[in-house]
Chains A and B, each alone.
Chain A
Amino acid sequence: MSQHCRPLLRVAASTTTRSAIRSYASQAAQPATRKLNVPIDFGKTPLLHHSPKTFTHTSGLPQGGSSTRLNLCQAVNEGLRTALREDNKVLCFGEDVAFGGVFRCTLNLQSEFGPDRVFNTPITEQGIVGAAIGMAAEGAKPVVEIQFADYVFPAFDQIVNEASKFRYREGSTGANLAGMVIRMPCGGVGHGALYHTQSPESLFCHVPGFKVVVPRSPSQAKGLLLASILESKDPVIFMEPKILYRAAVEEVPDELYTLPLSKAEVVKPGADLTIISYGRPLYNCLAAIEAAEKASPGISVELIDLRTIYPWDRKTVLESVAKTGRAIVVHESMVNYGVGSEIAATIQEQVLLSLEAPVKRLGGWTTHTGLAWEKFIFPDVTRIYDAILEVLEY
């Protein structure tokens, strides 16, 4: 018990520092005074491998081979290229995929693999996903692109009623959709407004059948994408945070490797609080943790990258929270009925007696992403920092 009181005492001892920092947050409109909501320095963040020397920090990354500095869209491109080379059953299609894709993720794939394997489709999301289901059912590995996650809804019936239930209803016929992957750029980009910012992952998690994956970095994107295409026996929804396409740059191993699905990664160990997140907000989480640990010396916060949102790695999360006694879940998508609700409820069910504070959910506000307010809607460093203090103080 005394162990769990530690963070609370430490924070109480540093009230002056905390209130000083909180005052900056209220003056977010004055850039010069910002200390928390400053741009993420992707060139320095430890969430990226700036040198192959740190590959040892990520379980599953190959050691000792060659590597190349790639941004996220290049890494997706490299993952697709590797899969197309590895297995001639892999097909790659969607709207505007042939010339390289609107985000350049499929660049030069058609020239290398030909128009039979990499091609454009008519503009029809239900058709793209429907066709992919039929292909996978006949043994192909279709990796399809929905141009923006915001436009996946016409395919919702094919995803929810058809692909998700496919293996189940086929029963002993054995037909299944292994190798089918639906890629879609998701999340805020600063000016995407209503239909270029959405993160609909929790909608896919409510109906089992798909694995839902969100990478945070280029090396992850390649490894998780290759696992989705080449290893997963279940269809995968692969959501790529588009704001990271060019921003996140790191060393990516050149060889074929996969990272395990449904396995979270503890990216920063800590003792007093667990933050669970995935994709883009992880960078904000780490910045907020660094600020909080600096403001309250002695506290340490554990950061977990969920990587696969569903079926999620309950063991890693629950073990962490059982140890720290406090948890915050952070995601961009709206907080109501979001991924955070499921994780918070599971924590509450499974490790209630370890909890020192209510599980905090931090998500986008329960509204739509109006163009003018994106920076106020998604959890920023300030909100995460404030939540860390709130949960530790509880």
Chain B
Amino acid sequence: MKFQNPAEENAMPTYRIMDADGNIVDNTRDPQSVSDDEIIQWYRNMLTVSIMDLIMFDAQRQGRTSFYMVSAGEEGIAVGSASALIPEDVCFLQYREQGVLVQRGFTLKEMMSQLFANKDDHGKGRNMPVHYGSGKLNVHTISSPLATQIPQASGAAYALKMQRLINPNVPPRIVACYFGEGAASEGDFHAALNIAATKSCPIVFVCRNNGFAISTASIEQYKGDGIASRGLGYGIDTIRVDGNDIFAVREVMLEARKRALEGDCKPILVEAMSYRVSHHSTSDDSFAYRAKREVEEWKRRDNPITRLRKWMEKKGIWDEDKEKEARASIRKEVLREFSAAEKVKKPPVRAMFEDVYEEITPEARVQMKELKRIIEQYPKEYSSISQHEGGIKSLEE
């Protein structure tokens, strides 16, 4: 009789192509099949996320936006994995994947419109900042409840597979579903992986294991070998990858995407290891539960942006001047869109009642009328209505 003891098993290895100094350590997958321009674009995309993080974090501190969540340390996971997708693939995000959006072509204007909840926001100003979405880019709108997107992504992947069964001319597509290691403790994670496996869904689950769920270190989150070890239990092909190595993340995602679409399709689990350099959000001071020194060490020792920069410098396609120019021009662009978005009107007040159902219900129409009456009766109490597109007129029938 032998009980399997997880402590006696070897931890699943972490795949990497490039070391912390930007040296290629695995030549079997050659990132140089990609053009230099493309790699520079990934770098600029990571930099864009990083620069926007700093500006928006400060903007929130100044009270100019209500909330923000930075992606520091995890830009490589987002940009690297998104670079392996085709535009028609469908993405479900948690909230710390701005890089996926930037890589897929979400513009700074679109980001700022969402962050300022102005009338140009795709979500019509209804969601908290960082809850992005884009129909054009096939990214479903982010929602705050953790892990709920994971079974939805499994279902979406099944629908994509069915579309191909009905019409074989539809290009093969996958769903990429992102979540953190904390979210993986939710029941929805279990439900999603089990359904995806039993129904052979073309989906790649990307877990960002950054060591913390707000204040909860991963040692309090799980006892097993991370999230990756669970994939095998569901019968899912799984790999652990160095999340600070954009080449490794991209190559893993390319291979995962290919495997997900093979034969009758199947799900793949990718656990990307990183470290949450930043606070959880603007509402969190992480030094209340971890040492500043630990964070500083991570920042210094390893980072997806500096790692790629070292590689690019070694290859002779990047230097200090280019770095300065890139940082300055991205910063300027971010600030320009920031100021522009801040001045744009808020969505019409009417949009508050729209889209609950396809049509506004009779009940809601009565409430719209009542709100209009109240605002007209007490105009001084609601002077901010002038900031909304159309003012009070939008509440008319």
Contacts and interface: CB of A to CB of B under 8 A. Distances in A.
Interface string B172-210: 000100000000000110111011001100000000000
A117 to B, nearest CB: 8
Contacts of B127: 169
Interface string B115-136: 0000001111011000101110
A157 interface: yes
Interface string A154-176: 10011001100101111111111
A130 B145 CA distance: 12
Given A134-B153, A138-B90, A140-B159, A126 B187 contact: yes
A124 B356 contact: no
B165 A116 contact: yes
B143 interface: yes
Interface string A82-125: 00000011010000000000000000000000001101011010
Nearest to A208: B356
A315 interface: yes
B98 interface: no
Given A119-B199, A122-B194, A126-B188, A131 B154 contact: yes
Given A91-B162, A124-B194, A137-B156, A234 B124 contact: no
Given A169-B123, A171-B355, A130 B158 contact: no
Contacts of A270: none
Interface in B327-385: 351, 355-359, 361-364
A311 B131 contact: no
A192 interface: no
Contact of B151 (A126, A142, A161, A209): A126
B110 to A, nearest CB: 11
Nearest to A165: B143
B148 interface: yes
Nearest to A164: B356
Contact of B155 (A124, A134, A167, A314): A134
Given A121-B195, A137-B140, A208-B356, A157 B151 contact: no
Contact of B121 (A121, A131, A171, A178): A171
Given A170-B141, A173-B135, A135 B122 contact: no
B150 interface: yes
B97 to A, nearest CB: 17
Contacts of B124: 171-172
Contacts of B358: 167, 176, 178, 233-234
A124 B191 contact: yes
Contact of B362 (A129, A135, A165, A314): A314
B363 A134 contact: no
A172 B154 CA distance: 24
Interface string B18-54: 0000000000000000000000000000000000000
Find the residue from B122, B155, B198, B361 having the highest chain A CB count within 10 A. Answer: B155
* A-side interface size class: 35 or more
B151 A130 contact: yes
B200 to A, nearest CB: 10
Interface residues of B, number: 52
A139 interface: yes
A132 interface: yes
A260 interface: no
B151 A158 contact: yes
B143 A130 contact: no
Nearest to A262: B361
Contacts of A142: 155
Nearest to A349: B366
A127 B159 contact: no
B133 A170 contact: yes
A154 B123 CA distance: 28
Contacts of B131: 169
A123 to B, nearest CB: 9
Contacts of B122: 170-173
A335 interface: no
Nearest to B196: A131
Contacts of B154: 127, 130-131, 134
A208 B359 CA distance: 12
A133 interface: yes
B143 A169 contact: yes
Find the residue from A121, A140, A162, A170 having the highest chain B CB count within 10 A. Answer: A170
Contacts of B356: 167-168, 208-209
Contact of B141 (A130, A134, A138, A173): A173
Given A121-B198, A162-B145, A171-B124, A127 B191 contact: yes
A171 B126 contact: yes
B363 A311 contact: yes
A153 to B, nearest CB: 12
Nearest to B195: A127
Contacts of B283: none
B188 A130 contact: yes
B151 A131 contact: yes
A116 B143 CA distance: 29
A167 B363 CA distance: 18
Nearest to A134: B155
Find the residue from B126, B151, B163 having the highest chain A CB count within 10 A. Answer: B151
Nearest to B357: A234
Interface in A172-225: 172-176, 178, 208-209, 211
18 contacts: A119-B199, A121-B198, A122-B191, A127-B190, A127-B192, A130-B188, A132-B155, A134-B152, A134-B155, A136-B155, A138-B160, A139-B159, A170-B141, A171-B126, A172-B123, A173-B140, A209-B357, A314-B363
Given A124-B195, A139-B159, A171-B355, 15 more contacts: A88-B166, A116-B165, A122-B191, A127-B190, A130-B192, A131-B192, A135-B159, A138-B90, A138-B163, A140-B159, A157-B188, A171-B133, A171-B141, A172-B122, A311-B363
Q: Give the 5 A-B residue pairs with the shortest CB-CB distance, closest first.
A: A130-B151, A127-B191, A134-B155, A131-B155, A173-B135
